[in-house]
């Protein structure tokens, strides 16, 4: 039993939180604050190495997975069926997520449960503010043209995986129309790069339990009890929203995929645990693909197309969190939102969550751009920064669950489409 990865991850999670609380100045404080904060980066070292290894291969892994997923479809008709259904599906589920978030935020009103005195204690996090890019006024035609990956080097520097996804789709579709002898070298290169990437991921996974321990211990040392207790109603609202979204996924799995929800959760628990521990959809993407194919019986063309694409643009958990956080801060700062403001907020959240880099902490940067649009001081982010990593772990878990749900739904639609022909 102890040899199973998910068991080792759970042990790492629990022990990481316990050790973190023992060392945290805001909890049991067994050691001085300076020493605790000094050793936190060393404790997190294995976790940061784990994430760095994944980031190193995430672009070749995403690109090759999509290329091989498209070319293994066998015919362009299957590809068209999948392509025309996946985009509307992702938009639909993101709209559902944002709607759930808005309803819960206005129903519970978490901002009313925080003392206004806390605003005076906000410490502006200068690094967060510096990372915020103010959205320029760009026309929709320019945005569409901007999706074409012209500057690959800049996209890599910006962490814009969406550009590489689009590039991979172009390459994969083009290969489908090429003669086999001309397409074979690129296919073979893609296979070699994918195998290389998977070997590096396999090495990284050996660090996973230790990485989980280190990351959680480091986070717990920094936040302790205080940050969580003062923001308890906000945390409750976000978690309730994420659980509601999970319930929506389970309904889709049951009625469309004809899979028992408990069976589904049992089959994907390892993926969920890794997502929770690493806060990165990209980090668990190889495991998500393997789980989809081996346990959910999803065909390779679908799993290798839908899951890498989903890890880039299917950020339902992130969208739900962002809209709740934005409304929470408007309540806290006493900003009244009109119906038009709420609609604009919803549309901005949907747009911002699509194509967000699937790495830890990016939600905070995206949230800052959303807050600027509705008049909330960016400094308000400092208030939720203390609990963001915990919620980041939770929403990433829902994000990867959404990707696996999408693969089940797409498999059903493609099967039905092929059967009707």
pTM: 0.78
pLDDT at 134: 39
Residue 375 burial by Cβ neighbours in a 10 Å radius (0-12, 13-18, 19+): exposed
Alpha helices in 279-380 (DSSP H): 281-294, 300-313, 316-332, 339-353, 362-373
pLDDT at 241: 97
User: Do residues 231 and 384 lie in contact, with contact meaning Cβ atoms separated by under 8 Å?
Assistant: yes
As a whole number of angstroms, the distance between CA 146 and CA 160 comes to 12
Among residues of the chain, what percentage have pLDDT more than 90? 32
pLDDT at 345: 79
pLDDT at 135: 41
pLDDT at 126: 35
Among residues of the chain, what percentage have pLDDT more than 70? 78
CATH of domain 5-420: 1.10.3860.10
Q: At what angle do helices 180-206 and 281-294 cross, to 10 degrees?
A: 110
Residue 60 above 50 pLDDT? yes
Average pLDDT of the residues of the chain: 81
Give the residue among 380, 392, 135, 96 at the shortest CA–CA distance from 251.
96
pLDDT at 326: 87
Residue 131 above 80 pLDDT? no
Q: Across residues 37-65, what is the average pLDDT?
A: 86
Q: Across residues 307-321, what is the average pLDDT?
A: 87
pLDDT at 114: 74
Q: Across residues 291-311, what is the average pLDDT?
A: 90
pLDDT at 359: 52
Higher pLDDT, residue 300 or 402 = 402
Residue 128 above 70 pLDDT? no
Residue 408 above 90 pLDDT? yes
pLDDT at 329: 86
User: Do residues 125 and 385 lie in contact, with contact meaning Cβ atoms separated by under 8 Å?
Assistant: yes
Residue 197 above 70 pLDDT? yes
Q: Across residues 48-67, what is the average pLDDT?
A: 83
Domain ranges of the chain: 5-420
Q: Per-residue pLDDT tens for 378-389? A: 666 666 766 777
Q: Per-residue pLDDT tens for 66-87? A: 888 888 766 667 677 777 888 8
In the structure, what pLDDT confidence band is assigned to residue 133 with cuts at 50, 70 and 90?
very low
Sign of the CA dihedral 156, 162, 165, 166? negative
Residue 246 above 60 pLDDT? yes
Q: How far apart are the first and last CA of the chain?
A: 47
Higher pLDDT, residue 119 or 313 = 313
pLDDT at 399: 94
Q: Across residues 290-316, what is the average pLDDT?
A: 89
Q: At what angle do helices 281-294 and 261-278 cross, to 10 degrees?
A: 150
pLDDT at 372: 63
Residue 356 above 70 pLDDT? no
pLDDT at 130: 39
Residue 58 burial by Cβ neighbours in a 10 Å radius (0-12, 13-18, 19+): buried
Higher pLDDT, residue 312 or 410 = 410
- Indicate the SS3 state at residue 355: coil
In the structure, what pLDDT confidence band is assigned to residue 119 with cuts at 50, 70 and 90?
low
Q: Across residues 147-153, what is the average pLDDT?
A: 70
Higher pLDDT, residue 106 or 286 = 106
For the chain, state the CA radius of gyration.
22
């Amino acid at each position: 039993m102890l040899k199973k990865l998910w068991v080792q991850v759970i042990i790492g999670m629990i022990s990481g939180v316990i050790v973190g609380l023992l060392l945290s100045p805001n909890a049991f404080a067994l050691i001085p604050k300076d020493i605790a904060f000094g050793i936190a980066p060393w404790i997190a070292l294995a976790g940061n190495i784990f994430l760095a290894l994944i980031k190193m291969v995430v672009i070749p892994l995403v690109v090759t997975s999509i290329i091989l997923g498209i070319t293994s479809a066998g015919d362009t008709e299957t590809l068209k069926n999948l392509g025309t259904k996946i985009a509307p599906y992702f938009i639909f589920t993101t709209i559902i997520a944002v709607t759930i978030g808005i309803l819960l935020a206005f129903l519970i009103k978490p901002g009313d449960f925080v003392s206004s005195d806390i605003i005076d204690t906000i410490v502006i996090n200068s690094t967060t503010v510096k990372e915020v890019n103010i959205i320029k006024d760009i026309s929709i035609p320019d945005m569409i043209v901007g999706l074409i990956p012209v500057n690959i080097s800049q996209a890599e520097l910006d962490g814009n995986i969406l550009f590489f996804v689009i590039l991979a789709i172009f390459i994969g579709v083009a290969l489908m129309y090429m003669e086999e002898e001309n397409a074979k070298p690129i296919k073979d290169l893609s296979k070699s790069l994918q195998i290389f990437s998977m070997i590096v991921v396999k090495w990284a996974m050996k660090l996973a339990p230790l990485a989980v321990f280190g990351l959680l211990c480091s986070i717990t040392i920094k936040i302790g009890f205080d940050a969580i207790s003062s923001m308890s109603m906000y945390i409750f609202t976000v978690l309730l929203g994420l659980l509601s979204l999970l319930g929506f996924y389970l309904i889709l799995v049951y009625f469309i995929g004809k899979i028992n929800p408990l069976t589904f959760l049992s089959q994907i628990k390892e993926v969920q645990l890794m997502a929770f521990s690493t806060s990165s959809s990209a980090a668990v993407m190889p495991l998500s693909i393997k789980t989809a194919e081996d346990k959910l019986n999803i065909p390779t063309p679908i799993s290798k197309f839908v899951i890498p694409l989903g890890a880039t643009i299917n950020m339902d958990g992130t969208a739900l969190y962002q809209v709740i956080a934005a409304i929470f801060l408007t309540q806290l700062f006493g900003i009244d939102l009109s119906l038009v403001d709420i609609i604009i907020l919803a549309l901005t959240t949907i747009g911002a969550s699509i194509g967000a880099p699937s790495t830890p902490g990016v939600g905070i940067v995206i949230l800052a751009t959303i807050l600027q649009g509705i008049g909330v001081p960016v400094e308000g982010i400092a208030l939720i920064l203390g609990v963001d990593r915990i919620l980041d772990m939770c929403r990433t878990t829902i994000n990867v669950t959404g990707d696996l749900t999408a693969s089940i739904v797409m498999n059903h639609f493609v099967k039905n489409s092929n059967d009707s022909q």
